[in-house]
């Protein structure tokens, strides 16, 4: 009984729960580490939270459950491209914390993205990294729409992504996410059950399925990569214009305070938003031209 009382006191000290009973702590074999996992794990994100989030995404897509192990980064390590059963999920708590992905909702979106890689591995066979990433974001969007999940730090983390050889920039990734949501919403409105195959067909209707770092700037790839209308791109341009104006206001305040370091930083972001405005307007013009 002294042992049980010790657990009870420990739980109270970390959760602030006054009326918790020893029986509740031990119910279904759960001990204090399940109630206060961050304390027992020595980290702000528990391994249980991560494995539960990965399981939620896996179950949603009807994929076989696979091991969830610690690794150098958050990812899925595929085995054979012809089977889902030899895949392995990787997690990295430091990366999740750094990107602000600490809630079960945000982490489940992360693994919905990784499930997208599992679903599309036969199609890409490890190739087409930009297209591969956008496809995974597309399936994450489908997951969000089907589960009626609000935007959170996952979306903000995507928006901050800079383009590289392996990953497209945040604007494209958010478009892929939104396209996944839109496709699911349209299917449901028509009484169509979204499936892997139907969603993959929708993704392949866009230029995104053949997008690479090298061909992104070529003429055939410019404009409506995700098939959005000119209205969507003009709205995006208006939002970026607001961000540009706010950044310029910060620059002026920085200069008045004599804070040149902050002024340079805010000027950099103003320039980024200005480029986004120009890019969105260009995509809107292309969408209008393609519609004719």
Token output for 134:
């956008």
* C-alpha span between 208 and 186 (Å, rounded): 19
Task: Give the closest residue to 93 by CA, choosing from 32, 36, 48.
Answer: 48
Which residue, of 227, 258, 283, is where some domain finishes? 227
Token output for 251:
């620059």
Same domain, 87 and 201: yes
Mean pLDDT of 141-151: 93
Dump pLDDT digits (tens) for 81-102.
788 888 999 999 999 999 999 9
Task: Give the closest residue to 139 by CA, choosing from 120, 159, 116.
Answer: 116
Q: What is the mean pLDDT of the chain?
A: 79
Mean pLDDT of 247-275: 88
Which residue, of 205, 227, 249, is where some domain finishes? 227
Same domain, 36 and 179: no
Per-residue pLDDT at 286? 65
Same domain, 25 and 124: no
Same domain, 193 and 253: no
Same domain, 221 and 241: no
Same domain, 59 and 201: yes
Same domain, 202 and 250: no
Same domain, 35 and 60: no
* C-alpha span between 276 and 175 (Å, rounded): 13
Same domain, 128 and 192: yes
Number of domains forming the structure of the chain: 3
Q: 236: domain range? A: 229-292
Same domain, 173 and 48: yes
Where residue 31 falls among pLDDT bands split at 50, 70, 90?
very low
Could you tell me what percent of the chain has a pLDDT over 90? Answer: 37
Same domain, 10 and 61: no
The overall pTM is greater than 0.95: no
Mean pLDDT of 48-75: 94
Same domain, 28 and 54: no
């Amino acid at each position: 009984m002294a042992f049980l009382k010790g657990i009870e006191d420990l739980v109270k000290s970390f959760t602030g729960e006054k009326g918790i009973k020893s029986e509740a702590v031990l119910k279904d074999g759960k001990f204090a580490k399940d109630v206060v996992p961050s304390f027992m794990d020595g980290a702000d994100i528990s391994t249980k939270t991560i494995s539960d989030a990965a399981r939620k995404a896996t179950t949603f897509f009807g994929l076989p459950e696979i091991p969830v192990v610690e690794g150098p980064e958050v990812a899925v390590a595929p085995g054979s491209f012809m089977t889902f059963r030899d895949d392995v999920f990787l997690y990295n708590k430091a990366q999740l914390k750094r990107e602000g992905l600490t809630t079960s909702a945000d982490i489940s979106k992360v693994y919905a993205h990784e499930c997208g890689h599992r679903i599309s591995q036969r199609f890409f066979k490890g190739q087409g990294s930009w297209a591969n990433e956008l496809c995974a974001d597309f399936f994450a969007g489908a997951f969000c729409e089907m589960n009626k999940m609000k935007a959170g730090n996952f979306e903000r983390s995507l928006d901050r992504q800079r383009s590289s050889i392996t990953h497209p920039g945040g604007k494209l990734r958010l478009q892929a996410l939104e396209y996944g949501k839109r496709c699911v919403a349209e299917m449901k409105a028509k009484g169509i059950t979204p499936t892997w195959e139907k969603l993959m067909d929708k993704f392949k209707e866009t230029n995104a399925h053949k997008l690479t770092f090298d061909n992104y700037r070529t003429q055939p790839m410019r404009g409506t990569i995700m098939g959005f209308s000119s209205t969507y791109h003009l709205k995006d341009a208006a939002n970026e214009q607001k961000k540009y104006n706010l950044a310029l206001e910060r620059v002026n305040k920085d200069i008045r305070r004599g804070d040149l370091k902050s002024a340079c930083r805010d000027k950099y972001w103003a320039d980024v938003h200005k480029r986004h405005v120009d890019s969105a307007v260009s995509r809107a013009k292309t969408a209008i031209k393609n519609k004719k």
